[in-house]
Each structure stands twice: as C-alpha cells, then as structure tokens.
Chain A
C-alpha cells in the first residue's frame, strides 16, 4: 500500500509550500512568463497585435541584426570588454590584497581598505557625474591639467578611441575594494605555518609571495574567472549607459549588447530586433555558462555552480 502519495506529501509540507509561494509566484511572473515573450524575436511587433497577435516574420529580425553589422560590433565589444575587465580587475585586486596582507600598520590597512571599497557603494549615475567632471571638454579636470602643462584640450566625449582604456580603468576603480576583500579573505585563510617554514628555509618575502601566496589563490581566481567567462556576453548596463549615454559617436567602441537592446527598445522602437538581440544574448549566455560550469566541475567539483 502506498503510504505517502503525492498529495500526502503536499499536506505534509503544506506550510513550507505556502512559505515558498511568494517566491515562486515572483519568479514565475518576472522570470518565466517573459520567456514566452521570446516569440517577439520572430515577429513583427505592432501595438494592436501585442505579443501574441503580431504577425510572424521568421528570422527577419535576426537578419537585420546581423546584416547591419550591429551584431558583430556589440558582441565583439561586450566580449572584449569583459575579457579586459577579468584580466585587469583580478590582477589589480590580487595585487592589492597581497599588499594589504603584507603591510604592517593596522590602521593603515583599515583605512586603505575602507577607502578602496568606497567606489563600490555609489551609483553609476554618480560615476557618470564624476566622469563629466573629469572629461568635459570645456571644464573637465583632465583638460585643465593638460592646458596647465601647455597641451591642447582633448575631446574625450567625441573620440571613440579613448574609451576602451577609460572603461577598463573605471571598472577597476569601481570593483577594486570588493574584489580585494575577497582575495584578502582567501589569503588570510592560508596556513601561516607554510610561510614560517619557507622563511626558515631562507625564502625572502617576494619568493614567499610567488611560491605560497599566489598558488594558494589559484582556486579562488580560477573559479571567479570561469564564472566571469560564463557571463562574458553580459555587459554592465549601468556603467556603459551612464558613462557613454546616447552619444552615438562613441558607439563603435562602447556599444555593448545590453545598451544596444535598450536603445532599440526605447529610442528606436525596434521591438523585433531588440527582442532578437536579447534572445541572441540569452542563448549565448546560456551556452557559455554551461561550458564554464562544465570546466569548473572538471577542475574542482565542489566549486561548480551545479
């Protein structure tokens, strides 16, 4: 005799299920229902038809997206920026974390760590204001300094070439404290006996760092990098939108998939192509996350996402 049928279980877990209901409804509504809207990528959206009434247009939206060169441009930008961010940010954070660990003064450590964490807490809008303060052609501090040493002003907001460098620096600035703290946590969990043993064997500080500290950070680093690679086709909309805005002159080097999708939706009213680009990003993202997770699993099963 079946003692516990499905409905018996429901009764048994009644309260727990009830407690889950808000979250389930939330994600059903805001995450799963929109997935049905993917059909928009294959339709010619019009307001009267809405999502389900608009006529199908096959792969036209995608053709438009790819033929115009937009697909390549935004994909390339998104991926390249993320690679640059991964490399630079992790390098700087590990560097800072090692220094924080080695430096002697307790107050100095506390203060510098606190200061380095500060940029994480401000919104990208504020960062946009800071950028304006620095980059503005007429009043910006950078041009003020350039003029002071006799050089001509540079038109940062109108020159696409500067922006890859700018955005990498800004990203490093914003995430410095956050990442440093994570790496510092990993460093402090390294067994100090190893250091002391190395010292007895005659290793100097730099050798200790090279031979003990850094190798012990590899697990953290690899996990973070692999997960970041899983997100390589997702751009930080806040950063790009507030720094670059709607400045079309800069799009060649700064337009990422997220800003493109946003602009197509809100400004150009290209619902179909926006949906197509969004779907393209979701598929790519899913594929890369699966691959990245597979790689993490092969490396260290416990650290994988699933």
Chain B
C-alpha cells in the first residue's frame, strides 16, 4: 500500500460521523470466515483422497471413503511400491517429456517472442497475425488427428507427447510483451557494437528475461506434466504412457492393473485393494506437484499478476 503524504489541507466540511469500528470488525469476520470456508473447500478433496489411500480396504468396502481413516493401512502403497515397474515407467516418460518439452518449448517460444518484439523488424505484425490467427480459427480435431496419425506417423512415439504441445501462441504473446519492455537502447547499443541478431538474443535479451522465462517455463512444464490427452489419442504402447494417462487407465480399468500386477509377480487377485489403490495411485501421480507447489506457486502468481496489470 502506498504511504500517503500528510494531508495538509484543513477539513472544512462539517465533521461527518466517523465510520463505527463495528463495520470494520464485521468485514474482518466475514473475511476470515468466508476465506477459511473457501480454503477448506479447496483443500478437503485432497485430504479425502489421501485419507482414502491410507485406509484399510475392508473398511472402505464396509463404510465407504471417509475423511479420516477409520483403520489405517499402508497396504495400497505397499502394493504400488512392491510392483513399481509400471509406475516407474510412467514417471520416466513424464519426466523426459516434461524436461525435453520445456527446454525446447521455452527456447523456441522465447526466440520467436524476441523476433516479434524487435521493433525494427519490418514484418513483425505480419508474422504476429500469422501466429495469432491460429487462436481464432482451427481445422478441428479430426484433421489434426489424421495428420498426426496417418501422415506424420507419430502414433506410439515419444515425440507425439512432446511435439504437438511445443508452442503456444498465448505464451509467445506474453513473452513478447515482456521483451518489449526491455529498453530499446540496450539492443541499439549492441547492434552498434556489431552484435548479430541471434547474439543479441542470446547474450542480452535472454539474461534480461529471466522472470518471464521462469514463469512461462513453469507454465509449459506444468502443461507437460499434467498432459494425458495426447496419450489418450495417440499412445497404446504401455511403455510410453505418461503418468496422468497411466492414472487414468488405472482408474477406469482395474482389471488391466490386476493383470499387470499378476504378471509382475504372483499376486492373488482378491488381495488387491482396488479402492485404496486407486486413491494411492492418485496421490503418487500428483505428489510431485504437491511437493513442488509451495516453491513454484509464487512464480505463477507473479506471472498472473503482471499479466493482469498489463491487461
């Protein structure tokens, strides 16, 4: 909050009645109560899932999913970590896809944004329109799907999990508007010193764009980490299933899960705690996000706040 300069002008109008402190108190009460309710509303589903994952399967069958485990049991996690091959494979896929996708995506996005931000580039508005138009109109799902499956032959490849999501016009725009705020003088003086366009990008613009790179990078990474749609459409090879898609399959198809586990080791079908296992896998699939969240959320807040102010 800005500190106000002392009000030097005498108040000449008749003294209005001072706002009673009770309205402030009421505001605080409403604020604390409502915000607490909203926070609980946002948080309790997670607690529910966590608790269900830690509840003994027989208790779930009997009493259903409860907020607090009536009978504590690590059995579901035990099974997950006893036969972790599938889960680890999924983690591996997601981590590689996220790393590669974020790296290349960030590089390409920032490079494109740089060119579009260069005010001396004659055709920048033409190219901007070229990119921007894709957000207004599209050919729809079918042509895109057929292109990837029939013509590019990308089905069941790691590339198909990375490539279609690599560039996003919105991120280009955000980064471009950030780069536009870099003082023209810096680029000018670099050009006078004889630096090439790409050199300017690498040596000057990138270092100065660290906040935007961090924010957009995290948005891209989050998108990759949570992606299941591309796998849903294009992946049937169980070695290439990313984490969220693996979870999706498990949730909808416990039989498949059972078979995989029985194939991995002698496990009697009736021993598998299906309900708590679903919840345990959910926690495992979203665990890293939850752990990283407190540290990375401020970058998102930062990005959103700047974006909101800039309109």
Q: Which residues of B contact A144 (CB under 8 A)?
A: 63-66
Q: Given contacts A202-B19, A282-B139, are A141 and B127 in contact (CB under 8 A)?
A: no
Docked Cα-Cα span, A7 to B36, in Å, equals 64
What range describes how many residues of A lie at the interface? 35 or more
Name which of B72-80, B247-255, B264-272 contacts chain A.
B247-255
Q: Which residues of A contact B308 (CB under 8 A)?
A: 181-183, 185-186, 220
Q: Given contacts A19-B197, A30-B164, A275-B140, are A133 and B49 in contact (CB under 8 A)?
A: yes
The answer to whether B131 touches A108 (Cβ under 8 A) is no
| Interface of chain B residues 40 through 64 with chain A (CB within 8 A) | 41-43, 45-46, 48-49, 52, 60-61, 63-64
The answer to whether A126 touches B285 (Cβ under 8 A) is yes
Q: Given contacts A117-B300, A133-B65, are A19 and B201 in contact (CB under 8 A)?
A: yes
The answer to whether B197 touches A16 (Cβ under 8 A) is yes
Task: Tell me if B2 is interfacial: C-beta within 8 Å of chain A.
Answer: yes
What range describes how many residues of B lie at the interface? 35 or more
Docked Cα-Cα span, A35 to B140, in Å, equals 8
Secondary structure of the B contact surface, majority rule: helix
Q: Given contacts A13-B123, A20-B112, are A139 and B19 in contact (CB under 8 A)?
A: no
The answer to whether A129 touches B278 (Cβ under 8 A) is yes
Task: Tell me if A164 is interfacial: C-beta within 8 Å of chain B.
Answer: no
Q: Which residues of B contact A196 (CB under 8 A)?
A: 4
Docked Cα-Cα span, A29 to B251, in Å, equals 34
Name which of A65-73, A75-83, A154-162, A170-178 contacts chain B.
A170-178
The answer to whether B142 touches A126 (Cβ under 8 A) is no
The answer to whether B27 touches A205 (Cβ under 8 A) is yes
The answer to whether B198 touches A15 (Cβ under 8 A) is yes
Docked Cα-Cα span, A265 to B60, in Å, equals 38
Cβ-neighbour of B140 out of A38, A125, A191 (below 8 A): A38
A201, closest chain B residue (CB): B16
- Binary A-proximity of B276-306 (CB < 8 A = 1, otherwise 0): 0011001001100110011001001100110
Q: Given contacts A50-B150, A102-B31, A185-B304, are A125 and B39 in contact (CB under 8 A)?
A: no
B164, closest chain A residue (CB): A30
Q: Given contacts A99-B35, A118-B42, A274-B141, are A129 and B282 in contact (CB under 8 A)?
A: yes
Extra pairs beyond A23-B112, A118-B293, A141-B67 (8, CB < 8 Å): A19-B201, A23-B111, A38-B139, A125-B245, A125-B251, A141-B66, A185-B305, A203-B19
**Nearest 8 pairs between A and B by C-beta?**
A37-B143, A278-B140, A202-B16, A34-B139, A34-B143, A123-B226, A103-B31, A144-B64
Chain B residues within 8 Å of A, Cβ to Cβ: 1-2, 4, 11, 16-20, 23-24, 26-28, 30-32, 34-36, 38-39, 41-43, 45-46, 48-49, 52, 60-61, 63-67, 108, 111-112, 114-115, 118, 121-123, 127, 129-132, 134, 136-147, 150, 164, 166-167, 169, 172, 196-198, 201, 222, 225-229, 233, 244-245, 247-248, 251-252, 275, 278-279, 282, 285-286, 289-290, 293-294, 297, 300-301, 304-305, 307-309, 311
